[in-house]
Amino acid sequence: MTGIFNFSAGPAVLPKPVLARAQAEMLDWHGSGMSVMEMSHRGKEFTGILAKTEADLRRLLAIGDQYKVLFLQGGAIAENAMIPLNLLAGRSADYAITGGWSKRSVEDAKAYGKINVVASSESDQYQQVPDFASWQLNKDAAYLHICTNETMSGVEFLDLPNTHGVPIVADMSSHILSRQIDVSQYGVIYGGAQKNIGPAGLCLVIVHEDLLGKASSMTPAVFNWQLQAENQSMINTPPSYGIYIAGLVFEWLLEQGGVAAIEKVNVAKAKLLYDCIDASDFYVNRVALANRSRMNIPFYLQDEGLNAAFLQGAEARGLLQLKGHRAVGGMRASIYNAMPIEGVQALVAYMQDFERSH
């Protein structure tokens, strides 16, 4: 099937030129006679790829020299455990629950130390980020953990609480590189690659050097951030093909004009879809206006009995993977950087047609 638009929340759509280039380079990378998959991770070809990938990411996010960039395996969920192991050092940590993923982070962290839930929108079905004034922050916390874009419920942070110096650790899996951020406001930024970066199997950790060297002796070496930083993410074999694809995505993003330029497109895409939902009584999005995600847009048909027909009709038009997360139901359109605006236009046209005919 060609000419489709893939709205999957992840693993998700990748830029077509990136896939085409990976295909062209598949059997013989730059005259090496080898696929990147076949290269020694310590050879000069791959170490060159890794260095360029890191440099391009640093450029895209203006990451300062005080931050280490790690390319790890295990995905974001492994980091849920590795964050307390690397940072707690016998102290407690603050966590905000703003959706299914930050709730999962709390569950995963609890085994490793004292976790204080300082804010939660669970009783409100995760329809907003609780007002920062209500957060019960602890000034002696080792860190504050937040998920800045909740992929399931479509809730995004547009600003940050004032933690009075407590480092913020942010799960940015589903909106990293979609908007400009000030990295210096964070102690740690992490995210699985399979939404805005590349294939599953790669997890990025961007960590301020002041937070290194605190790991518990229980921390596996491959997840010890200091050890990995000292060894260019090569304590073990890094997810080399994933890193290569991430590097191609970063080059593509730079060609688009970088994060500032793609953010403008993302604003336009999200507006198109939210405007369509808001203009109709047929569809609804329940997230507070100030916290609506630009990347993951859940919406519900007022008549849920039409869900199956909606999805079937969408598929017939090549609009794929629109079913909402099993925990929240309804529909969800994930419109990451690689989703062209034409995909959102096609979805909106379909939604309007479906509404008219039902």
Ligand X SMILES: Cc1ncc(COP(=O)(O)O)c(C=O)c1O
> Is 16 in the active site?
no
Tokens of 11: 């693993």
Examine residue 174 and tell whether it contacts ligand X (CB under 6 A): yes
Residue with Cβ nearer ligand X (15 or 199): 199
**Residue 182 among the catalytic residues:** no
Contact call for residue 77 and ligand X (CB under 6 A)? yes
Is the distance from CB of 294 to CB of 341 less than 8 angstroms?
A: no
Q: State which residue, 173 or 240, has the beta carbon closest to ligand X.
A: 173
**Segment interacting with ligand X (CB under 6 A) among 51-59, 69-77, 261-269, 329-337:** 69-77
Residues in the chain: 358
| Residue 300 bridge partners (DSSP) | 284
Distance CA 273, CA 333 (A): 9
CB 6 within 8 A of CB 321: yes
**Which is nearer to ligand X, 194 or 285 (by Cβ)?**
194
The C-alpha atoms of residue 124 and residue 120 are separated, in whole angstroms, by: 9
- Contact flag: residue 75 with ligand X (CB under 6 A): yes
Annotation says 195 is catalytic: yes
Helix (H) or strand (E) holding 54: helix 44-61
Among residues 36, 60, 76, 82, the one that binds ligand X under rule CB under 6 A = 76
Q: In the complex, what is the shortest distance from the CB of residue 57 to ligand X, in angstroms, rounded to a whole number? A: 18
Q: Is 330 in the site for ligand X (CB under 6 A)?
A: no
DSSP calls for 328-353:
T-SEEEE--TTS-HHHHHHHHHHHHH
DSSP state, 304? G
Range in contact with ligand X (rule: CB under 6 A) among 32-40, 168-176, 245-253, 269-277: 168-176
- Check binding of 201 to ligand X (CB under 6 A): no
Site for ligand X in 89-128 (CB under 6 A): 101
What value does the CA radius of gyration of the chain take, rounded to a whole number of Å? 21
Interatomic CA distance for residues 335 and 124, integer angstroms: 25
- Choose among 294, 280, 49, 25: nearest CA to 178: 294
Mark the segment that binds ligand X (CB under 6 A) among 72-80, 117-125, 236-244, 339-347: 72-80
Q: Interface with ligand X includes 10 (CB under 6 A)?
A: yes
3-state helix, strand, coil in the chain (%, to 5): 40, 15, 40
In the bound complex, what is the minimum distance in angstroms from residue 75's beta carbon to ligand X?
3
In single-letter form, the type of residue at position 325 comes to: H
- Of the candidates 29, 101, 135, 225, the residue annotated as catalytic is 101
Q: Encoding tokens for residue 312?
A: 């079937």
For the bound state, the minimum distance from the C-beta of residue 100 to ligand X, rounded and expressed in Å, comes to 8
Catalytic position from the list 68, 103, 195, 269:
195
Query: Least Å distance between CB 267 and ligand X?
Result: 20
Residue nearest to ligand X (CB): 75
Q: If residue 97 lies in a helix (H) or strand (E), which one and from where to where?
A: strand 92-97
Shortest distance, position 63 Cβ to ligand X, whole Å: 20
Binding site for ligand X (CB under 6 A): 10, 75-77, 101, 147, 151, 171, 173-174, 192
Residues labelled as active-site residues: 101, 171, 195
